[in-house]
Amino acid sequence: MENLQSLMARSDYITVHVPAIEPTRHMINTESLKGVKTGAVLLNFARESIVDAQAVVDSLDQGQLGRYICDFPEPCLLSRPDVYAMPHIGASTQEAEENCAVMVADQLMDYLENGNIKNSVNFPNVSMERNGVRGARITFSNSNVSGVLGNVLSVLAEQKVNVLDMVNKSRGDIAYNIIDVDAPPSDDVVSAIKTVEHVIAVRVV
């Protein structure tokens, strides 16, 4: 289709599958609904802000749009026979709850065993494959300021600890690092890293 209006003019069923960002706010509105195919059904299970609910009501009242189905029960949509408004609880199905529980357990195990972080609220997503079976992995978090990683690497160099691989990511004021080394670091090495300015926490996994 050339544009949204052309698509809506030829569609019996219109489903919305876009993110809620500023360019998609009220993407379905009075203007876009003017040319909708008479009797068409509009389904929105994406986000509330994508569809202008009052424009939908007006289109339904004018007999242009045939039915609206969504999981955003706004006040103007309630008690209408041509609107099916359901609770927005798609993530609360038995299957979704089970999948989330498994995901959380897997990600927590990956952090405890490998130091990888995924879907944290206040840390960056950081992941690195293990560099073979030998050696050990050092992880540390620090304030996101310049020079910290370089100072930690200097500590490792002074202590003759060979670095095999590493990754560094930051999010806001926090940085997180994973460093694979060819031998388990001594307590002295770990202590020296902890004393580096702006280092918050150190862990060997």
> How many C-beta neighbours within 10 Å does residue 104 have?
11
Residues 6+ apart with CB under 8 A from 62: none
Residue 134: pLDDT above 90?
A: no
Q: So where are the chain's domains? A: 4-88, 94-204
Average of per-residue pLDDT values in the chain: 94
Q: How confident is the model at residue 87 (pLDDT cuts 50, 70, 90)?
A: confident
> How many C-beta neighbours within 10 Å does residue 42 have?
24
* 47: annotated active-site residue: yes
Q: Which fold has domain 94-204?
A: Alpha-Beta Plaits (3.30.70)
Q: What is the mean pLDDT of residues 174-182?
A: 96
Q: How confident is the model at residue 133 (pLDDT cuts 50, 70, 90)?
A: low
* 88: annotated active-site residue: yes
Q: What is the mean pLDDT of residues 153-170?
A: 96
Question: What distance in Å separates the CA atoms of residue 67 and residue 81, rounded to the nearest whole number?
Answer: 9
Residues 6+ apart with CB under 8 A from 111: 117
Question: Going by DSSP bridges, is the β-strand pair 174-181/163-171 parallel, antiparallel, or unpaired?
Answer: antiparallel
Catalytic member of 67, 80, 88, 198: 88
Residue 29: pLDDT above 80?
A: yes
Decide: helix, strand or coil at residue 33.
helix
Q: How confident is the model at residue 61 (pLDDT cuts 50, 70, 90)?
A: very high
Catalytic member of 47, 80, 130, 198: 47
For 4-88, CATH gives 3.40.50.720
Q: How confident is the model at residue 173 (pLDDT cuts 50, 70, 90)?
A: very high
Give the residues across from 169 on adjacent strands.
176
Catalytic member of 74, 80, 130, 171: 74
Residue 21: pLDDT above 90?
A: yes
